[in-house]
Amino acid sequence: MAFNKINVFDKMTPEMHQALLKQNELVEDAFSTGSSIEEMRRNYEKEREFWNEGGPEPAKTIDLEVEGPHGPLPIRFHYPENRIGNGAIVFIHGGGFVVGNLDTHSKIMRLLMEETGSVVIGIDYRLAPEYPYPTQIEECAFMVEWLRQHAEEYGIDGEDISLAGDSGGANLSLGTALYLRDQTNDVSYLRCLLLYYGAFGLTDSKSMRLLGGDYDGLSRDDLLEYTRMYLGENKDAPYFDCFSNDLTKAVPPCYIAYGDLDPLQDDSKLLYEILSANGCNAELEEFRGVIHAFLHHSRLVPEALKAIQGGAKFYGSAVPCKVPEN
């Protein structure tokens, strides 16, 4: 339903509005869920090509394919020129669990590498609906464990791993941390989570009612369709609906960022309130005048780099959340 929505175009920054015009010039209806899966992916990849041009160049990039729980799993290491410490950030890309890959999020990963001074490792997890939940959680958790086992081989500290992601990748980052906690009872090696405009479990909210449409591909129908494709026949999904999981203990420090024109912003706000109320280290940062997925638009939108820098600052000072004594 398009009625009752806020006119976001009057509230956007001039740069955000320019980015939207460029988006439509590149691919009209780039994020429509009314297309076939193949067309959705082609449109998404084509539209993202422009935004991934330029940016920091790694000192070294390594592409690998490791044997994961569901078959071969492509991963990509980016090593910065000016490296700080031996920590590593596993970056989990967004795209509603349905679209996206290592190339569509290349610049975000390279900016994160540059601003943190850390090795950033992207994971090309399997996409829904062909591979529904919990395939993606299992692959991301496997990637973290594999990285710890092979840390010395790739010059990183297996006791200093962080997770980062945008949109669906933010959901997967938090879900993966909770899954690892529940499966192994130890996530002390997770320095922090950098969570950019994620959906963490709300099925309806004030922001969803007021915001979202064709311009960002997040109308109510779009959100329902992404969820349907991701969950498939699964009814119980505590690593998707993170608000139905236990967020009161052993959650790594979280940097949570969102745009004030994002229909998913209430997820970020609620996550922050729950974590803060339970003594976990969490920081919430709002970026005004920008929509969902603004990190991609760093060529035009200054808030994109500011959000990366905000996450990098949090990463540099993060101290893991202690588990309360029973």
Residues with a catalytic annotation lie at 167, 262, 292
The sign of the dihedral angle between the CA atoms of 210, 211, 214, 219 is negative
Beta strands 282-287 and 254-259: pairing type?
parallel
Provide the edge-to-edge strand list for the sheet that holds 190-196.
60-68, 71-79, 119-123, 88-92, 161-166, 190-196, 254-259, 282-287
| Distance separating alpha carbons of residues 203 and 260, to the nearest angstrom | 19
**Cα(38)–Cα(160) distance, rounded to whole angstroms?**
38
Structure tokens at 311: 């996450």
Is the separation of the CB atoms in 119 and 97 below 8 Å? Answer: no
| Among the listed residues 178, 106, 192, 103, the one whose alpha carbon sits nearest the alpha carbon of residue 140 | 178
C-alpha distances out from residue 90 to 109, 122, 259, Å: 9, 6, 23
